[in-house]
Structure 1
Amino acid sequence: MRIGIQIPSFTYPGDQSQIAPTFAQVARDADQAGIASLWVMDHFFQIRGVGAPEEPMLEGYTALAYAAALTERITLGTMVTGAVYRHPGVLVKTVTTLDVLSGGRAWFGVGAAWNADESAGLGIPFPPVAERFERLEETLRIAHQMFAGDESPIVGRHYQLERPLNSPPPVSRPHPRILVGGGGEKKTLRLVARYADGCNLFDTPELPHKLEVLREHCAREGRAYGDIEKTALTILTPESTADQLEDTVGRLGEAGVDHVIFSCRQPYEPSTVPLLAGLVAKAA
């Protein structure tokens, strides 16, 4: 079982000047504790359920690049990028750059996007849901081709790339791990089976059923279910105890999860990283 940490909030004690040192300390501590992965959201406004839109939110890939320079082993990814936020050629180049500069530690976390408010606020096109999934699938195809170094022209319904050059290539082999986030049974999990190296699901009672649906999609796609890293996002609060977290990891492991990622809204709390480090030690 692998243990990860997601940082969804940059509202830290003190003023804005404390964001960088606090985030840096969390990243270094997580790396030194042997935590497997560090994730940030790829949003531009804070999301509902975490805070008000006006709360501090860092751009995801810039934050990960900063973390890459401060760490040595921990893997790094967005959970997850909305495929419509950036042109896919630029997005693949961005993920490749993170992979090169981190020495092969990048994840490519991607999904269909859902936050219409931030897209409207920043002028990002936000097509209807069916088109967003079409664009997600094209993005996944483009990523596979560019990661493989194939410069052949790409002519899709939504994207046309005359020469998808990607130099330098990724360090990761065969490519940075592709993770598709979301539990949609007809589209999202089918895309996981067809294109991804990992999936991400929420820790809900429906999770075992979602994994069975993924298994069925893998069978239809001729894909080995075991080749896909099953990750689950759950919550760590300042009130969480070691026993509670151990129970969560055990329950998710029994359900078939390979990688438990704890979303920590107060990652600066002194107990946060030591609690996760304890889980790492028990899972070793």
Structure 2
Amino acid sequence: MWTQEEAVFEGNYYQVRGAINQPKSVQKPHIPLLIGGGGEQITLKLVAQYGNACNVSGSLETIQRKLDALKKHCETVGRDYEQIHRTVTLSCMIGETDEQAEAKIPTNLPGRAAILASSLVGSPDTLRKRLAKLEEIGVQEVILRFPDVLNLDMLRFFARELIV
């Protein structure tokens, strides 16, 4: 679809005839591919083979393990790991203190500990430290989800404290 006027594809499960993608991408041969997902055997292997960027999530330890798996796949296929832009997506809850931020997650919520481990939760100082650790392990971009996105005071607080 990036190179033909009308694309044709015949696969095992899907067929496409006469698909049109206009306007064409200015990048040649195609737009950069960001592959999201953390499957260590298949998805990250596909990133090593075809991706320009990846997006994973999880706790710091999980993200490290996934980036290590990606690095191994890159070695196997002969790809420079540094050519792949590495991103993560995390939920973010910020407060004046760690306790204030953590209080935004109900204490009786199933999986609360896992949510805390795989999110960016805490005071501005705690968030800065967690972001620094992500950078240390090789993350180059963080995509944030704000569950309470309509709380403009929280977004302004985040911007004032963390965006320079």
**Residue 186 of structure 1 aligns with which residue?**
41
Q: Deviations over 1:221-246 (max 9, x none)?
A: 23221121111122311423211211
Per-residue deviation, 1:260: 1.3
Q: Which residue of 57, 61, 75 corresponds with 1:219?
A: 75
Alignment partner of 1:209 is 2:91: no
1:1-80 matches, cutoff 5 A: none
For 2:159 and 2:80, how far apart are their aligned partners in 1?
Answer: 30
Alignment gaps of 5+ in structure 2 = 95-100, 102-121
Gaps in structure 1 of 5+ consecutive residues: 1-145
Q: Any idea what SS the aligned residue of 1:235 has? A: strand
Count of matched residue pairs: 135
Is the partner of 1:231 in helix, strand or coil?
strand
Match of 1:252 in 2: 134
- Give yes or no for the alignment of 1:230 onto 2:86: yes
Summarize the alignment of residues 141-152 of structure 1 with structure 2, pairs less than 5 Å apart.
146-149=1-4, 151=6
Distance 1:160 1:167 in 2: 20
- Structure 1 match to 2:162: 279
User: What corresponds to 2:146 in structure 1?
Assistant: 264
- What does residue range 118-137 of structure 1 map to in structure 2 within 5 Å? none
Tell me the residue number matched to 1:127: none
Inter-partner Cα distance in structure 2 for 1:193 and 1:276: 34
Which one has the largest radius of gyration?
A: 2
- The CA distance in 1 between the partners of 2:49 and 2:128, in whole Å, is 32
Judging changes above 3 Å, is the alpha-carbon distance between structure 1 residues 275 and 163 closer, same or farther for their aligned structure 2 residues? same
Q: Does 1:163 align with 2:18?
A: yes
Q: TM-score, normalised by structure 1?
A: 0.43
Q: 1:197 to 1:274 in 2, by over 3 A?
A: farther
The 2-side partners of 1:237 and 1:218 are apart by 34
TM-score scaled by length of structure 2 = 0.70
Superposed displacement of residue 274, structure 1: 4.4
